[in-house]
Amino acid sequence: MPLYVALYPIAADDSPTTRDYLAGLEGQRFAAIDRFFAREAARYHLGLDTPLKIRLRPALDAVPPQREPTAGRLATALFTLKLRAWAFLHSGHAHEPEDIRLFVLYHDPERTPAVPHSLGLRKGLIGVVYAFATPRMDGANEVVIAHELLHTLGATDKYDPDSDAPRFPDGYGDARQQPLFPQHYAELMAGRRVISPTRWLQAESLDEVLIGPSSAREIHWPEHPEAPPAERPEALRAPPLETRAARCPAQPSAARTAACSSGWEAASTERDSRPIGSPSRSVNVPPASVTIATQAAISRMLMSVSTTTSI
């Protein structure tokens, strides 16, 4: 029997854009999430054709409490209690089972170009997702929804919170890929596809993403998955780096989603001037032998794209 995930949309503002977007939502809009988990379950030989099922619930008028960015341990504990109490009052009253409840707050990207951090609570099986009310951001929204959903099941983040760098090896789509860069996939709990030792991009859809072995162990899936395809089909490949750079500025924090100021067509990740694995961070890096062996390939790749801000 699958896990049933109840998704409650919420208008985070009074924009007509948000209102119209929520009015047009239907269950089929989230079918890509169901397909993603079915694909990954098959790769891990889970034995379930449908490991989970998203069920769209009616929109809520109430807005959940929000954790303060500077909240300490005690304040965070109080916040989680408030959120669980709020969720109890405003959801769970359907006749169908609701194993996991996700509250998705949609924002008009014209008003809110960067949204707060989303979160998922294992205790209570509750997630709060901040998303954008535009079809052009549906793919990025789905990545965030799936990411927070996996948090409710016990998976942990696989990126460095300071730099947003995917951790090696757990945060790479395939740490054994040769050559190592660019990675063909992003790991779901890292959320970013590594294209070189100093560059990574936020996944724009679940077609770019897989669940890595470390995350699978955390949610008690079987070990020893089938290897991901050597290369994603042409139709599923992300646009070239120069295309993304032209249409999307850097977002203020890769732990949250940001809309593009040029047509809101995609999401990008913040990049800073420090490389992955600088001494002040605990980010693991690939073995030196692997990195050296791929320098020629990296150089060829970087010559084919326009210059972007280095991390």
- Give the pLDDT confidence score for residue 207 in this predicted structure: 96
- Give the pLDDT confidence score for residue 239 in this predicted structure: 52
Contacts of residue 257, defined as CB under 8 A and 6 or more positions apart, other chains included, come to: 114, 115, 118, 130, 131, 132, 137, 140, 141, 144, 202, 251, 267
- Domain spans of the chain, in order of start: 3-152, 186-303
Tokens, residue 297: 């390939």
What sign results for the dihedral spanned by CA atoms 159, 162, 165, 168? negative
CB atoms inside a 10 Å sphere around CB 208 = 23
Give the residue ranges of the chain where pLDDT is below 50.
Answer: 235-236, 238, 242-243, 245-255, 261-285, 287-311
Instruction: Quote the mean pLDDT of the chain.
Output: 81
pLDDT tens column, 172-189: 999 999 999 999 999 999
pLDDT tens column, 41-62: 999 999 999 999 999 999 999 9
Give the Cα separation of 134 and 120 in Å (integer): 23
